[in-house]
A and B are shown apart, each in its own frame.
Chain A
Amino acid sequence: MCLAVPARIVSIEGTEAETEIGGVRRRISLALTPEAKVGDYVLVHTGYAIGIVDENEAEETLRLLQEIVSLAP
């Protein structure tokens, strides 16, 4: 469930981070992802980062999509 959007961490101060998505900045909590670093993309749900986007997997998914459609009859 639930709406979470990928935003990039611009800066970190203690357990909070300034994130940016499409020119919009919002301060969020890293309480659930203390290991996140500046430059990471995190999934933001109601002002908290719930997980870090795995960029390799993101690319892998796109590659998989291309592969699936190329095999289609």
Chain B
Amino acid sequence: MGDTIILAHGSGGRLSRELIEKKFLPIFANPFLGKLDDSAVFHACGRLAFTTDSYVVNPIFFPGGDIGKLAVCGTVNDLAMSGARPLYLSLSVIIEEGLPLKELEQITWSIKKAADEAEVTIITGDTKVVNRGQADKLFITTSGIGIVPPGIDISGSNAKVGDKILLSGTIGDHGIAIMSQREGFQFSMSLLSDCAPLNKLVAEMLEVSPRIHCLRDPTRGGLAATLNELAQQSKVGIVVEEAQIPVKEEVRAACELLGLDPLYIANEGKLVAIVEAADAEKVLQRMRRNIYGKDAAIVGEVTEEHPGKVIMKTTLGPSRIIDLPLGELLPRIC
């Protein structure tokens, strides 16, 4: 095998087989994939959660992770946001001809590592290769299946007036980490993407309280988008306090430089939980004992006023509306 991916690697012939057997299988090594059947067959009992997502991040390697880690964590987290215990993932890759094999290997190991941490198994997959220029290096699609334990009913429409709003940690890390790598921005910092699997954190939170009404991970559009979605889905108002929202110094600084607001910037390892008020403090304490919740905070609460709208009390005192972000965030000059 040469040192770059060529079209033949995706055509189903000898090179395809070699790629799967010599590169992917040894890394993932499990009985499902080992069978090399067209589909994976398994038992599952109970209420199932099912999700899918595609990952097209650019650059494919970024501080704190890569597209592989993102593809596992993103889908695991989507399952976790329903309270599900993630079980199995499918992994489809579309590779642009010319991608160095070394990079593909590195990403494959990332996928493996993330899957191991999340305790999920990749049981089926697909590989395609397209002509140069028809995909931006690598696109990944993962679908995930999980089991929702009995008695758990978590949904964006379940928020109740009086509930507290918990945030698992600092916001804006992922988006800024990505932006720092883009051509033309080049600022250097020690900031890493927060990309992480949150299923264990969620399981621990549910152990402490079954009265978690909503869970959502604030990815694209940031915390602002997520809070707005929840307010609208549940038809309630949300009030948050700016001073309680944790933001890393470097994210603040980068946002100052670029004229951006951390509220609208993507996160890949954070969650918002809307919890019944009586249980909020103990859920918070439990979150803080998990590495992915160590900076957790209660940032606001659900109110019956201004349903569907999110209001933030600023550090200066006055309140203002937080609306959905204006669109793709582009740094401004003015």
Q: Do A and B bind each other?
A: yes
Whether A22 lies near B186 (C-beta < 8 A) is: no
| Residue A27 lies at the interface, judged by CB distance under 8 Å to chain B | yes
The segment from A1-9, A31-39, A51-59, A60-68 that touches chain B is A1-9
Q: How far is the CB of A45 from chain B (nearest CB, A)?
A: 7
Whether B333 lies near A22 (C-beta < 8 A) is: no
The segment from B47-55, B150-158, B245-253 that touches chain A is B245-253
The segment from B59-67, B72-80, B187-195 that touches chain A is B187-195
Q: How far is the CB of A58 from chain B (nearest CB, A)?
A: 16
Whether B333 lies near A45 (C-beta < 8 A) is: yes
> Taking chain A's interface residues, is the majority helix, strand, or loop, or is none over half, making it mixed?
strand
| Residue B256 lies at the interface, judged by CB distance under 8 Å to chain A | yes
Whether B189 lies near A24 (C-beta < 8 A) is: yes
Bound-state Cα–Cα, A46 to B331, Å: 10
Interface centre among A3, A7, A23, A45 (most CB of B within 10 A): A23
> Which residues on the A side are within 8 Å of B332 (C-beta)?
3
Q: How far is the CB of A22 from chain B (nearest CB, A)?
A: 3
| Residue B34 lies at the interface, judged by CB distance under 8 Å to chain A | no
Chain B interfacial residues counted at CB < 8 A: 17
Bound-state Cα–Cα, A22 to B256, Å: 10
| Residue B254 lies at the interface, judged by CB distance under 8 Å to chain A | yes
Contact of B257 among A1, A2, A24, A27 (CB under 8 A): A24
Whether A24 lies near B334 (C-beta < 8 A) is: no
Q: How far is the CB of A26 from chain B (nearest CB, A)?
A: 4
> Which residues on the A side are within 8 Å of B187 (C-beta)?
24-26
| Residue A44 lies at the interface, judged by CB distance under 8 Å to chain B | yes
Whether B188 lies near A26 (C-beta < 8 A) is: yes
Bound-state Cα–Cα, A22 to B189, Å: 10
Q: How far is the CB of B248 from chain A (nearest CB, A)?
A: 8
Bound-state Cα–Cα, A24 to B257, Å: 9
Binding site for A on B (CB under 8 A): 186-191, 249-250, 252-254, 256-257, 259, 332-334
5 closest A-B pairs by beta carbon, nearest first, are: A22-B253, A26-B187, A23-B250, A24-B253, A24-B189
